[in-house]
Chain A
């Protein structure tokens, strides 16, 4: 097996260590994320998802434990941490509040400029990233503060995409967007994943989105990693997942119930396509519950 892009060993993080407000947000995480994987990160509110992913590009230094990016120890030389920030792009929760430039164009160019690229290269990347998230030429000349919330979100995502990170991490990129905006952004992220085989980590509260786009799922529960496995294997643990205050996709729930009622269906159905195939065979055979 090739070296994992992200590997952690006993990674723990404690906020406000040594004060009465001390809070362990990530505890003893050991994971290996393979190159080119599309990982959905799920977990209840406050389970430590945002804290964990901020370790992957060196914004937070672990309280204890180690991280390797592409086999390289991240904190071996803290002075060179910026290198990893370009390699691992992170889009924050509600990223629209980080915009600051006079124009959308300049704001997207902030990242590539920091990388020290040439003017032509920057221009090319900015236009590509903007096109990718569906920003028009006319919007590029506007001030980012004149845009709507959803448009700002796209600008912020483009700002990270323009750095062409090898690993792209998005913290709830679709929170508060309309269904069309969601589809567009998630579809484009999937496209980014397909095109260059980039690794993607997508934090989401929507099990449907995780089921639809991700290949693997990382489940956080009370600051620990509960599970890291293929999506179907994770959703097969519906009982445990629902106990954590999460849910499985609605489709999965229907099939679990059908199986309970005695229909011969498998319980690891989590997308519409799989459901359709199962239902068609069921109808063809004219099955009745065998109870």
Chain B
């Protein structure tokens, strides 16, 4: 079902990770991604995995949620892994059929790639699971605010993002409802060829578009009624403030990053 889509879903909680400043969390996530890409051997990757385990444990997000967020990208992971496995040559040949060869180097590189993608998704999911969409866009807006001097409409972009995020669950709910209503009228969405299935989408997409436009119009009107006029002179109810907690976590991430670099230098690379 559509409801099983979890990317960008927020899991309310009160853990340390939940309480971190969103700006710091975004920066730390970027650092984590850098860490994943600097790691060039399994030890370095292990540091990344360790970091994730700690992060998920501290934030009390069940590990099964990682599986849920990875599910949609499994084909990509498999595809990259298979490509690497067959087309990278080097090291001992383990297996050979026809022109395809599997070598130790190919195999370890494939594993490395797969791990990297999985960690990437698990890490960014941790950010969205522990940060409400509003806090997230707030953080992004503040981080990008220097760009205002370059005439980038930072506030407007952030507002657009907030609205988009805000309406994802609504849209999913609406799609579900319209789908149910059309199924109740005997619409058949589970069988038939590609053409037939595409055609079966029409009764869902049209009402969805119509109601999206209606919603957008209503929202614009409601915002204007409350005198919204862009970011100029707007103050915030929640002021973002860095606390010692943020610096402790930052220290932890930097430590992990350094550990990865040390691993890179001490142990042989898999490339």
Q: CA separation between A82 and B186, bound complex, in Å? A: 6
**Interface members, chain B 208-233 (any A CB < 8 Å):** 210-211
Contacting pair B185 A97 (CB below 8 A): no
Q: Which of A57, A97, A159, A163 contacts B178 (CB 8 A)?
A: A97
Q: Which of A89, A100, A115 contacts B184 (CB 8 A)?
A: A89
Contacting pair A57 B184 (CB below 8 A): yes
- Size category, A interface: 20 to 34
Of the stretches B43-51, B82-90, B93-101, B199-207, the one at the interface is B199-207
Nearest-neighbour CB distance to chain A for B130, whole angstroms, equals 13
**Interface members, chain A 77-118 (any B CB < 8 Å):** 82, 85-86, 89-92, 95, 97-100, 110-111, 114-115
Complex contacts, A95 vs chain B, CB 8 Å: 181
Q: Which of B178, B184, B202, B211 contacts A160 (CB 8 A)?
A: B184
- Does chain B have a CB within 8 A of A54? yes
- Give the residue name and chain of the A residue nearest to B13 (CB): A20
- Does chain A have a CB within 8 A of B180? yes
- Give the residue name and chain of the A residue nearest to B207 (CB): A100
- Give the residue name and chain of the A residue nearest to B178 (CB): A98
- Does chain B have a CB within 8 A of A2? no
Nearest-neighbour CB distance to chain B for A92, whole angstroms, equals 5
Q: Which of A89, A97, A114 contacts B188 (CB 8 A)?
A: A114
Q: CA separation between A54 and B178, bound complex, in Å? A: 13
Most B CB contacts (10 A, CB to CB) among A95, A114, A159 go to: A114
Q: CA separation between A92 and B181, bound complex, in Å? A: 7
Nearest-neighbour CB distance to chain B for A251, whole angstroms, equals 35
User: Given known contacts A59-B183, A85-B184, A115-B186, is B11 in contact with A92 (CB within 8 Å)?
Assistant: no
Contacting pair B177 A92 (CB below 8 A): yes
- Size category, B interface: 20 to 34
Complex contacts, A136 vs chain B, CB 8 Å: none
- Does chain B have a CB within 8 A of A16? yes
- Does chain B have a CB within 8 A of A68? no
Q: Which of A16, A20, A86, A97 contacts B186 (CB 8 A)?
A: A86
- Does chain B have a CB within 8 A of A145? yes
- Does chain A have a CB within 8 A of B3? yes
- Does chain A have a CB within 8 A of B187? yes
- Does chain A have a CB within 8 A of B15? no
Q: CA separation between A98 and B182, bound complex, in Å? A: 7
Q: CA separation between A99 and B206, bound complex, in Å? A: 8
Q: CA separation between A111 and B206, bound complex, in Å? A: 17
Known: A110-B182, A163-B185. 20 other contacts (CB 8 A): A18-B64, A54-B180, A59-B180, A82-B188, A85-B184, A85-B186, A86-B186, A89-B184, A90-B184, A92-B184, A95-B181, A97-B177, A97-B211, A100-B203, A110-B186, A111-B185, A114-B187, A114-B188, A145-B210, A159-B185
Q: A-side interface residues toward B, CB under 8 Å?
A: 16, 18, 20, 54, 57, 59, 82, 85-86, 89-92, 95, 97-100, 110-111, 114-115, 145, 159-160, 163
Give 29 CB contacts A-B under 8 Å.
A16-B3, A18-B64, A20-B11, A59-B183, A59-B184, A82-B186, A82-B188, A89-B184, A92-B184, A95-B181, A97-B174, A97-B177, A97-B207, A97-B210, A98-B181, A98-B182, A98-B207, A100-B203, A100-B210, A110-B182, A110-B185, A110-B203, A111-B186, A114-B185, A114-B186, A114-B187, A160-B184, A160-B185, A163-B185
Q: Nearest 5 CB-CB pairs, A to B? A: A114-B186, A98-B181, A100-B206, A111-B185, A90-B184
